[in-house]
């Protein structure tokens, strides 16, 4: 039986909220240390034999820092063009981190899970940073919107297996 993942917003710069004071302090320290404003931070819990919260191969209009807090999960990252080869293929384990720039195709999870990933839950922290400069952020948002439209059209025409 495949259990559904759980997602939780831990911090949101738009309204200044944080799930706890410690998380708010950690996010502020990260922003101060990196010189990069944090837009939001989310946690994803994938239960044993659970379905990943990943959207399949996709792009984001923000830079993303992923930190594996517990368990393991496979992540693959490619370039910014459709059909770009995979440049990173990493099974993240507790304590590992990966930085994914805006507009780079990536995916997490999948059917090829290790025994550890199949039999234990994983907890992933995802921290979103706005790409710099501001003009790049606006362009990234437009490109992601275009990609989502193309992806939906492809999914509507594709066989159901293996495209999501």
User: How much is the pTM?
Assistant: 0.74
- Cβ neighbourhood burial of 67 (10 Å; 0-12, 13-18, 19+): middle
Write out pLDDT tens, residues 99-142: 998 889 998 876 555 544 556 788 999 999 877 666 666 776 67
**Strands 86-93 and 6-12, bridge-based pairing:** unpaired
Which pLDDT band, with edges at 50, 70 and 90, does 77 fall under? very high
What is the phi/psi pair of residue 7, to 5°? -120, 140
Exposure on the CB side of residue 46, measured as CA atoms within 13 A: 26
DSSP state of 58: B
The pair of three-digit structure tokens given for residue 120, joined into one six-digit string:
């234990």
- The mean pLDDT of the chain is 80
Position 14 scores a pLDDT of 83
**Residue 103, SS3 per DSSP:** coil
What mean pLDDT is predicted for residues 26-34? 87
What mean pLDDT is predicted for residues 14-29? 88
* Residue 79 and residue 124 in contact, taking contact as beta carbons nearer than 8 Å: no
């Amino acid at each position: 039986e495949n259990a559904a993942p759980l997602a939780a917003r831990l911090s949101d710069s738009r309204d200044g909220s944080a799930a706890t004071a410690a998380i708010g302090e950690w996010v502020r320290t990260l922003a101060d240390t990196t010189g990069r404003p944090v837009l939001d931070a989310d946690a994803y819990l994938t239960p044993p034999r659970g379905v990943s919260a990943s959207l399949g191969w996709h792009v984001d209009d923000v830079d993303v820092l992923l930190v594996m807090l517990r368990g393991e999960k496979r992540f693959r990252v490619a370039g910014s063009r459709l059909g770009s080869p995979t440049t990173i293929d990493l099974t993240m384990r507790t304590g590992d981190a990966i930085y994914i720039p805006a507009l780079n195709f990536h995916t997490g999870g999948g059917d090829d899970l290790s025994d550890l990933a199949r039999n234990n839950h994983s907890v992933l922290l995802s921290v979103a940073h706005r790409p710099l400069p501001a003009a790049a952020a606006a362009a990234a948002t437009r490109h992601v919107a275009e990609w989502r439209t193309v992806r939906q059209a492809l999914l509507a025409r594709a066989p159901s297996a293996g495209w999501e």
